[in-house]
Amino acid sequence: MRPEFKRLKTLALAAAALACGYAAPARAADPLLIGYQMPLSGDYSQYGEMFRNAAELQLKAFNAAGGVDGTPVQILYEDSKNDPKEGVNIARKFADNPRILAALGDFSSTVSMAAGEVYAKVGMAQLSQTASHPEFTKVSKYQFRNITTQAYEGPFTAKWIRQTGPKSVAIVSIQNDWGISAAEEFAKAFKAEGGSVTGIEYFNPGNRDFRSILTKVARAKPDAIYLCMFYEEAASALQQAKQLNVKAPVFSTSSLYSPKLIELGGDAVNGVRMASTFVPENPAPEVQGFVSNFKSAYGNAPNMFAAQAYDAVGIMLAALKAAGPKATREQVRDALAATTGYPGVTGKTSFDPQTREPAKTLAKMVVENGQFKVIE
Amino acid sequence: MVANASRVSVAARWLGLAALLFGLIPALLAAIGGGYPFQVAITALIFVTLAVSLNLVTGTAGLLSLGHAGFFGVGAYAAALASTKLGWPFPLTLPLAAVAAAVVGVLVALPTMRLISIYFAVATLGIGEMIHVALLNWVSFTRGPMGIRAIPPIEVLGLDLSGVVGGYYAAAAVAAAGIFAVHRLTHSYYGNALRSLREDDQCAAAMGLNPVRLKIEAFGVSCAIAGAAGAVYAHTASFISPDSFRFEESILILAMIVVGGLGSLPGAVVGAVLLIVLPEALRGIGDFRMIAVGVFMFLSILFQPKGLLGEASAIALFRRQLGAAWRGDIQAGWK
Amino acid sequence: MPDFFDAYFAQQIINGLSLGLVYALVAIGFTLIFGILNVVNFAHGEIYTVGAFAGLLLIVGAAPPLLAVVLFAMAVGAAAGVGLERLAFRPIRRFSDEASLKSRAMREATLLSSLAVSIVTRELMVHFFSGEMQVIPQAALLQEVIAVGPLTLTNGNLFIFGASVVMLGGLQFMLYRTRVGLSIRAVSNNVLGARHVGIDTNRTIVATFAIGSALGAAAGILVGLYNGNIFPYMGFAPGVKAFVAMVMGGLSSIPGAVISALLLGVSESVATDFISAGWKDMIAYGLLVVTLIFFPQGLFGHGRERV
């Protein structure tokens, strides 16, 4: 029995020490803290990596410019593995640290919403750069996102396709919350524009062989194909479409906007058209500054996901600044909700006061000769 | 007299364990402060329940199951759908989840029980994946990848257990019930019958046992406990989606009981706690976290291939401390 | 209702066969290794991934002909297999007594130690190469189109088909016509017995791992180039399907595993035509369960001695 007691005692002491550590009041020079949860290991770690790089870039610039009235801001990163149960643990961890004023992340809607239930209970603002589940902002008044939902992007692209001619379209979509809403919103809008949808084909996440789906799509002979997936899957799907001699013009969601799409897909991705909020060729100084800084810091061009994270961090920092160095979590939430016309690299962002949905402008892009080009 | 004394001390030891689970551990968690330790403890307890239930089939009865997360998912979805669509409270959804998972489990078990060794394992893998595919694609019923949101928190007889501390007590109560049930089943002649199936089912059949019936019973009970764990998960997380019930989770649960010691009840508990708490405790080392967890798993199996608390030592411990079936004064046996 | 038995349906069969061949390619090495130890090697998917990365590094570095790439990947795979055996299998193997041989705890421990090694390998790859899909030089891809009437094939299909035939034929030859094969079969039949007649069981097992892993690595690079994606998690999905194919085929039969793999691939592919692609795994696993209900020893398994 003795050694057990000893161990328990050590544990209790450690616990007490930890408790004191948490309870220590913030000193004046201490930085303000925000938490950022993202997948840094597991099969989506590349996205987390990108978010962290973009966040660091934004944060460095912000602190160099004086931070919040001279107080610097620090971001604590936690790895969620894109696993809902870890996401919830992290949310609790952030919530327990009284110095953390708000949270960013997670990557997928599933994890963001699981964590969101915790943030809603403890009253802490959560801003996700990518969670596009239609119900994400309905969890509570503490949920924000800076990505446009598919309810906005779908109709935009549907109209665009109808203008260029195609009357019928086949949709290929990833079977997750984002994919379903993307496919359904688009299908609804396309039918409203007078077009017809030959079918929606969902594939399970992780699938990289699209030949069967593409053959099925080809049989229906649509005038165009609309892809709702991420750029890695799209690169494979487009290569396989080329191989199967599927010739219909391809349109897609903004998630395909990544230089990596062209690197991975080669010739096969030429001609793909998509709407995007982030256009690196945009001459606006903030966009050019971001693109050149990102390239010099990390050696590659930023994609849509990096831009989303860059702006999410920017919006959060602007809200912290507006709330001042002595702000509470509630004040940070209110400052975040008051965001209007934030000039980000993905366009100007404002939050709708009721739904907390962002409003942004979209540009039309096409891949031509291995380059992304803006269509006027 | 002797019998009485030992009965008292058995009761005292069970009380001690209960005091540890319901008194000392929450006190320690509260001393650390905040919701995070409780949240981790809730996750750990849910996985303790799962590991203990898997241990009954895989450890004691020797049926390698690679689809346990599927039954966990059936329970979670049953509870989530009943509470959000029909407004059922936790005291009703908990048994519902257990029954739903047990029914699916028995339906699965009936045709597959004559499979042996790896054939059975692969059949359960296939069934676990089929459950996952159904949860993901049967959008009209399960809402598919959208998941189920706003699952009401736990409330028992007017007692509000919506916070993390309440959630801890609910998870601890279910885990304790699961542990107790599995303990009673395995540390008895019934458990010995299951072990005999594991060692040699033809021999067991020759001794007059009915292996198919025993296996189906064990599988059904195990699935019921996993389903109950699912109900706790659904109500404490308030949002569930098919992502939580993948093949990887089945493997995680299996890893817990192997690290702890196949067939050993305390081993399953220790394994589950370790494999949930360790990744959290290692957050400090950043990107190398999962590598460290893998290395830990490897080393523990390398040095303790029969588990940290192997079956033989665990049974000896139980006989000494908590044994009822082995006490000479009680008439025990098959009817 | 369109007429289903048209050129598209034929194309769908071809898609299914090529998918099935991918599973078969992975299953061949997997079955060989399973056969000798009766333990699932969870790290086979990682060997497949390691083979793909090794091949890719050589392509990026030197752009040699395909045969050299495959041979290099096989060499790396064989080395990795030997390392795997040393690390995850040998320390837990105790053949000296009947009890440990029969102990389920030991068997499951071996399964988990290979899983642990696979987690560490995969996360290390994520750490060094990041989790994303690697850029493959376009010229190296096996996606050159070969049109046969309205149907399309690629040179990748032919290479994978060729590799499967060579591997299957080579293995059958080795297993039934050479001394190494004889000792592999002996060990897989009865370890203690093999030892008693003077077979060096450890050496035989190492040889099996080397051969099986080399085949796995070759599968990795070929499939990676054919599908156009190489990333640290690529081994998981085909690994699970290969496992399923192996069991459906009856464990001890490598041709059985290949036939089951083809069956799985075609059923998945044809199922896509009739139902949503999301449900196709339901068909594949349903097929598995139904097969096992009617053929409890797999399609081509013969009654094994029950241990």
Residue C92 has pLDDT above 60, yes or no: yes
Provide the pLDDT for residue B320: 63
Does B284 map to a domain? no
Q: What is the dihedral of CA C136, C140, C141, C142, to 10 degrees?
A: -150
- pLDDT band at C46, cuts 50/70/90? very high
Does B278 map to a domain? no
Rounded-to-integer distance, Cα C26 and Cα B90, Å: 46
Distance from CA of B326 to the nearest CA of C (A): 24
Among C187, C217, C234, the domain boundary falls at C234
Question: Which chain B positions have a beta carbon within 8 Å of C293's beta carbon?
Answer: 111-112
Helix (H, G, I), strand (E, B) or coil at B65: coil
Q: Residues C99-106: what's their mean pLDDT?
A: 65
Do C99 and C241 lie in a common domain? Answer: no
Q: What is the DSSP letter of C73?
A: H
Does residue B254 contact residue B51 with C-beta atoms inside 8 Å?
no
In degrees and rounded to multiples of 5, residue A173 shows phi and psi of -140, 150
Rounded-to-integer distance, Cα C212 and Cα C238, Å: 16
Provide the pLDDT for residue C96: 59
pLDDT in tens, B175-200: 999 999 998 888 888 888 888 888 87
Bond prior to A177 in cis (omega within 30° of 0): no
Taking any CB pair shorter than 8 Å as contact, residues of chain C touching chain A are 2, 6, 8, 11-12, 15-16, 18-19, 22, 123, 126, 130-133, 135-136, 138, 141, 143, 145, 147, 152, 154, 227-229, 231-234, 236-237, 268-269, 272-273, 276-278, 280-281
pLDDT in tens, A101-117: 999 988 988 899 989 98
Q: What is the dihedral of CA C21, C24, C28, C34, to 10 degrees?
A: 170
Q: Do B149 and A85 touch (CB under 8 A)?
A: no
A30-148+286-359: CATH topology is Rossmann fold (3.40.50)
Query: In angstroms, what CA-CA distances link C274 with A213, B87, C2, C277, C278?
Result: 11, 37, 11, 9, 11
Do C217 and C259 lie in a common domain? Answer: no
Rounded-to-integer distance, Cα C282 and Cα B112, Å: 17
**In this prediction, what percent of chain B has a pLDDT beyond 90?**
28
Question: Which chain C positions have a beta carbon within 8 Å of B199's beta carbon?
Answer: 102
Does residue C245 contact residue C265 with C-beta atoms inside 8 Å?
no
Q: Do B243 and A122 touch (CB under 8 A)?
A: no
- The two structure tokens encoding residue C162: 């060729």
Q: Does A118 touch chain B (CB under 8 A)?
A: yes
Rounded-to-integer distance, Cα C122 and Cα C84, Å: 13
Does B34 map to a domain? yes
- pLDDT band at C19, cuts 50/70/90? confident
Does B51 map to a domain? yes
- If one compares C251 and A122, the residue with the highest pLDDT of the two is A122
Does B7 map to a domain? no
The domain tally of chain C equals 2
Does residue A171 contact residue A186 with C-beta atoms inside 8 Å?
yes
In degrees and rounded to multiples of 5, residue C295 shows phi and psi of -125, 80
Residue A28 has pLDDT above 50, yes or no: no
* CA neighbor of A257 nearest in space, from A305, A309, A295, A225: A305
Half-sphere exposure of B124 (CA within 13 A, CB side): 28
Question: Which chain A positions have a beta carbon within 8 Å of B38's beta carbon?
Answer: 92
- pLDDT band at B322, cuts 50/70/90? low
Among C185, C206, C234, the domain boundary falls at C234
In degrees and rounded to multiples of 5, residue B79 shows phi and psi of -65, -45
Do C77 and C147 lie in a common domain? Answer: yes
As a three-state string, the secondary structure of chain A is CHHHHHHHHHHHHHHHHHHHHHHCCCCCCCCEEEEEEECCCCCCHHHHHHHHHHHHHHHHHHHHCCCECCECEEEEEEECCCCHHHHHHHHHHHHHCCCEEEEECCCCHHHHHHHHHHHHHHCCEEEECCCCCCCHHHCCCCEEECCCCHHHHHHHHHHHHHHHCCCEEEEEEECCHHHHHHHHHHHHHHHHCCCEEEEEEEECCCCCCCHHHHHHHHHHCCCEEEEECCHHHHHHHHHHHHHCCCCCCEEECHHHCCHHHHHHHHHHHCCCEEEECCCCCCCCHHHHHHHHHHHHHHCCCCCHHHHHHHHHHHHHHHHHHHHCCCCCHHHHHHHHHCCCCEEECCEEEEECCCCCCEECCCEEEEEECCEEEEEC
The domain tally of chain B equals 1
- pLDDT band at B334, cuts 50/70/90? very low
As a three-state string, the secondary structure of C3-22 is CCCCHHHHHHHHHHHHHHHH
Does B211 map to a domain? yes
- What global pTM score does this model have? 0.85
In degrees and rounded to multiples of 5, residue B282 shows phi and psi of -90, 10
Q: What is the DSSP letter of B149?
A: -
Do C203 and C291 lie in a common domain? Answer: no
Provide the pLDDT for residue A104: 93
* CA neighbor of C14 nearest in space, from C138, C160, C141, C136: C160
Q: Do A176 and B149 touch (CB under 8 A)?
A: no
Kind of pairing, strands A363-368 and A143-145? unpaired
Does C15 map to a domain? no
Task: Provide the number of CB pairs (under 8 Å) joining chain A to chain B.
Answer: 104
pLDDT in tens, C230-272: 898 888 888 888 888 988 888 778 888 899 999 999 988 888 8
Residues in chain C: 307
Rounded-to-integer distance, Cα B54 and Cα C207, Å: 35
Provide the pLDDT for residue B112: 84
Containing B281, the helix (H) or strand (E) segment is helix B265-281
- pLDDT band at C273, cuts 50/70/90? confident
Provide the pLDDT for residue C99: 63
Parse chain A into domains and list their residue ranges.
30-148+286-359, 150-276
Q: In what order do the strands lie in the sheet with A363-368?
A: A196-203, A168-174, A224-228, A250-252, A273-276, A363-368, A371-375
Q: Do B290 and A113 touch (CB under 8 A)?
A: no
Does B334 map to a domain? no
The alpha-carbon radius of gyration of chain B (Å, integer) is 20
Half-sphere exposure of B186 (CA within 13 A, CB side): 34
For domain A150-276, is the CATH number 2.40.33.20? no
Rounded-to-integer distance, Cα A295 and Cα B159, Å: 57
Helix axes C155-177, C7-37, angle to 10 degrees: 30
Q: Residues A277-288: what's their mean pLDDT?
A: 83
Provide the pLDDT for residue B280: 86
Task: Write down the mean pLDDT value for chain B.
Answer: 84
- pLDDT band at A364, cuts 50/70/90? confident
pLDDT in tens, A51-107: 999 999 999 999 998 888 888 999 999 998 888 888 999 999 999 888 899 999 889
Do C124 and C173 lie in a common domain? Answer: yes
Contacts 24+ apart (CB under 8 A), B15-24: B18/B176, B21/B172, B21/B175, B21/B176, B22/B169, B22/B172
Q: Residues B282-300: what's their mean pLDDT?
A: 82
Does C16 map to a domain? no
pLDDT in tens, A300-319: 888 888 998 999 999 999 99
Provide the pLDDT for residue A36: 94
Rounded-to-integer distance, Cα A178 and Cα B304, Å: 44
* CA neighbor of C212 nearest in space, from C246, C179, C260, C249: C246
Do C77 and C110 lie in a common domain? Answer: yes
- pLDDT band at A3, cuts 50/70/90? very low
Residue C106 has pLDDT above 80, yes or no: no
Does residue A75 contact residue A55 with C-beta atoms inside 8 Å?
yes
Provide the pLDDT for residue A309: 92
Helix axes A177-192, A109-122, angle to 10 degrees: 110
CA angle A87, A88, A93 (to 5 degrees): 95
Residue B244 has pLDDT above 90, yes or no: no
Query: What range defines the domain where residue B59 resides?
Result: 16-245
Do C248 and C191 lie in a common domain? Answer: no
Do C56 and C184 lie in a common domain? Answer: yes
Do C170 and C247 lie in a common domain? Answer: no
Q: What is the DSSP letter of B109?
A: H
Kind of pairing, strands A73-79 and A32-38? parallel
Sequence-ordered alpha helix ranges (H) in C88-200 = 98-102, 104-129, 155-177, 179-189, 191-196
Question: Which chain A positions have a beta carbon within 8 Å of B287's beta carbon?
Answer: 40-41, 79
Same topology between domain A30-148+286-359 and domain A150-276: yes
Provide the pLDDT for residue C4: 56
Question: Which chain A positions have a beta carbon within 8 Å of C11's beta carbon?
Answer: 215, 244
Rounded-to-integer distance, Cα A248 and Cα A241, Å: 10
Does C2 map to a domain? no
Q: Do B134 and C104 touch (CB under 8 A)?
A: no
Does B165 map to a domain? yes
Residue A18 has pLDDT above 70, yes or no: no
Distance from CA of B66 to the nearest CA of C (A): 11
Query: What range defines the domain where residue C258 resides?
Result: 235-300
Do C254 and C224 lie in a common domain? Answer: no
Task: Write down the mean pLDDT value for chain A.
Answer: 84
Do C212 and C260 lie in a common domain? Answer: no
Distance from CA of B150 to the nearest CA of C (A): 26
Do C41 and C161 lie in a common domain? Answer: yes
Does residue C100 contact residue B274 with C-beta atoms inside 8 Å?
no
Q: Do A176 and B39 touch (CB under 8 A)?
A: no
Residue B4 has pLDDT above 80, yes or no: no
Q: Residues B236-257: what's their mean pLDDT?
A: 88
Query: In angstroms, what CA-CA distances link C253 with A253, B93, B209, C117, C305?
Result: 46, 47, 33, 27, 15
Distance from CA of A41 to the nearest CA of B (A): 6
